Structure 1
Amino acid sequence: MSREVTSFNPYQMAVQQFELAAKRLALSEDLREILRKPKRELTVNFPVRLDDGRIKTFTGYRVQHNVNRGPAKGGIRFSEDVSLEEVKALAMWMTWKCAVVGIPYGGAKGGVICDPKRMSSAELERLTRRYTTEISIIIGPHSDIPAPDINTNSQVMAWMMDTYSMHAGYSIPAVVTGKPLSIGGSECRNEATATGVLFATRRAVQRMGTTLQGKRVSIQGFGNAGSIAARLFAADGCKIVGVSDTQGGIYSEIGLDPATVMRYKQAHGSVVGFPGAQSIGVKDILEVPCEILIPAATEGMITVENAERIQARIIAEAANGPTTPEADRILFERGCQVIPDILANAGGVTVSYFEWVQDLQSFFWGPEEILQRLEVIINRSFDAVVELAEQHHCDLRLAANMLAISRVAEATQIRGIYP
């Protein structure tokens, strides 16, 4: 999906958000110098043999932003749009995301520049295994634990885990999360991100004195997080009025059935053309009449260009970095509550943490226990962020960043600088 603003730099946006919070916290320049930069940036260029016998060199990245609170944690994405600046931004956001929900992880992110939709399963396996080998010098169950992200899934995680284990000579399931259940994965992991979005939004409307029943929801992005969110919100009594994917969007005032839309997408490759719905643009899905908007696509989708036209009263960010700082100010002034990405979509990393703990113990929990633990963490974190926002008279993103950064800064100060 092409972006309207070609000069958009996600890392600059992440640093800008950090500086706003650091200023409010009166953080020292020494701490800012440490926290605004990644600890480690690894770039790898590696050859992969394609099915037709040709050799193609791919470029991949793994960035660790901060590990003062625990091992680095973050997803792996396969996309033509992957860049070092994007991966650095996502790694920084992961640091704050883990801290805001109180998980003992630091932030990391990784990616490979490729078009997985044009690659066979065998080519993807060879690419994944070679990429894993290249970054194996910094990943590990106690140092850096990858997970699925855009265009990666449980099968990719299985290949990564197997490759790393083959190098060691024995199985190490805790090296990645988001694995299939048969090799140490966790119940509820696939739905975790969307479930966290549901819990955070439910908490937001509860604090407003209402419920989700009958609320209109529009969702940008109909991949794993967006499609599951549509199903979960509909099951909780909401009306899904709009969804979109990379090809375009659909809108229906009377509501859409998520399961039927998903079957249509699987059959036709896109939600566009769904019978009985109005076809609209990818960005237009953000502006349809609704109470709740869920951006579940990529960064930089809500900007100064469209913030004034957004009609939702709550924006729950299932995607990472979908709203620019300038748009945040506009939305806050208009009374729109933005549940920031590092809180709204923290369900994924929280259940990843559960999976990692289960792998290390070789003792696994049931779905009810996992969902109960997740809801407690999301609710507790949401309440803490709202209370800080009310104390400082600011929006939830600034409050969430302040809470997270203060926790990472405290760990950094206590540990000190080596040597």
Structure 2
Amino acid sequence: MGNAALKIKEDSQAETYDKEVQKQVLIEEARMSLELFEHGINYNLEEIKPLLDPLELKSGFNRAGGLTGFTLPHGYNARGNYNRWTPYSLVVEGGKPVLYNEKTAIGVIRFNKGNPVADQLLSTGERVRDIVNVSALGGLHCTYSTECSLKDQGEDCYFCAVNERAKDGERNPVLLKTPKQVAEAYDIARKAGVANHFRITGGFVPERRELEYYLDVADAIRAKYSSFYGCAVVGAPADLSVLPKYKEAGFDNISTNIEVWDRNIFAAVCPGKEKRNGGYKHWVESLERSVEIFGKGNVHSTIVGGLEPKESTLEGIEYLASKGVVCHFSAFRPEKGTPFFGYRSPEASFHWDILDKGTDIYRRYGFTTLQLHSGPASGPHSAQLFQIKNGEFEEDGTLAQWKFPALD
């Protein structure tokens, strides 16, 4: 081998080695995000609060209060509740928040900033953020209703706080958004370039009402725009023949969230989903049928990590991936007002095992970064690690904020 060829080979090996080192740094940061989720962060609120973005504090994404979401030094997104007894702390140094592990400085973090469009007013007087949440990814999340009819029957999911959140008048001033309000908020956001993805969801409501509402919203948006890129988060319809209607209305993605894969735990934790619309088997059939309509990678579901053995969760992710469904997952967080409030989520290593192996499953079945982000709100939890494993990060080793492709 000539000297020139040898030099090229050495440079190539060095570049590959550097990228692998950078990848491992980012992977460790992803692991740390789960440690922060488990252990929390100690901080002085009076010292930290001036650094928090006022718009982000009001966001529906910040319903737990305390710190807003933030970005770790190399770009991975994280959250952490206040905890006095934790090795992690935030200290303001030179006007910047520095994260520590015991006495070792990890680095400067960056708190999320809200988009000014969220404070714009609709013609009816509501703010955009009263109708939709604007994400850092350049997309919108609309919880059209905080109603879940299963609660009245004592059948709501044991971990879900949707009815409890309805009591928060500050973050949920409009309990039922009209299609006209949603379309107007969408229009304002799209003109600002932040409606490149539109996700709509709500509590469990009678099936016919849900379908008609989603179609009305799509029609209201398409009265002004020929198309939109969106995801309809729906319950499994009793009649699967209605599924094409969501596609015909303009939704490119659909998500039916099964929540728990083990059928016995599903029946115990999600009693309403088990008793309504055919139960566990029917929810799985709805997902499989949806792939025939929307295509591989455009059908989504969610499992709440920590409600069942991790082997069961991974089995569900694998099975659904083999059918063309992107099965996302989140880390169980006990919420006030639910039967599981006061319980503990499994430790960080449990959630890391699901995150690590789950993203390997996504890669094996050929899903894309866009598909990982295009489903339910739990998508980014795994999408960022998926990007890292695919080498989708900057040359300086940082993970840039991913954005949905612009529609206009």
TM-score range relative to shorter protein: 0.3 to 0.5
Q: Which has the higher contact order (CA 8 A, sep 6+)?
A: 1
Q: Which has the larger radius of gyration?
A: 2
TM-score, normalised to structure 2, is 0.37
